[in-house]
Amino acid sequence: MTNELALDQQVCFALYSASRATTAAYRPLLDKLGVTYPQYLVLLVLWGRDGRGVKDIGAALGLDTGTLSPLLKRLEGLGFIERRRLSTDERRVEIHLTETGSALRTEALDIPNKLAKKTAMGEDDLMRLKEALDALTSALHRTDSSTTEGAS
């Protein structure tokens, strides 16, 4: 008989442990760039498409503006991004990469491969893992929204 409440039987703990181990594996790679893991995620969003609004970046990362604002301030202080007010709407600010921030992308190009090697997992296994995690995330978001809708 298994203990349903045993720590080693919990999916949530396996995800938590994997997340912490992944972040720790990224640390030495990102130290060379001079950024933290959350800052790296912001840069990934901007390397994908520059000139995004704060809310757009937050939505891509699943972060609220209260969490995102300090990350953006630090990246701006490092000289990797700049804020620009829209000429069409002074209230809106877009985040743009600086030349330094754009150039950092070249230095970061090999990070995914280096991390994949650290896992000792094959490319197919990593892709299946990512797809399973994406499916889990989507299912949990659907559950959250249906719970929220039912509560109103």
Judge if 99 and 64 occupy the same domain.
Answer: yes
Task: Give the residue carrying structure tokens 């893991």.
Answer: 37
Secondary element (H or E) of residue 24: helix 11-31
Q: What is the pTM of this model?
A: 0.88
DSSP assignment, residue 98?
-
Judge if 44 and 110 occupy the same domain.
Answer: yes
Judge if 46 and 76 occupy the same domain.
Answer: yes
Judge if 53 and 125 occupy the same domain.
Answer: no
Secondary element (H or E) of residue 82: strand 81-85
Q: Does 2 map to a domain?
A: no
For residue 143, the enclosing domain spans 121-152
Judge if 35 and 101 occupy the same domain.
Answer: yes
Q: What residues form DSSP beta bridges with 81?
A: 97
Domain tally, the chain: 2
The confidence score (pLDDT) of residue 148 equals 58
The confidence score (pLDDT) of residue 151 equals 52
The confidence score (pLDDT) of residue 105 equals 98
The confidence score (pLDDT) of residue 76 equals 98
* Residue 77 near residue 22 (C-beta atoms within 8 A): no
Judge if 39 and 107 occupy the same domain.
Answer: yes
pLDDT 10s digits, 58-75:
999 999 999 999 999 999
Q: Within the chain, which residues score under 70 in pLDDT?
A: 1, 146-152
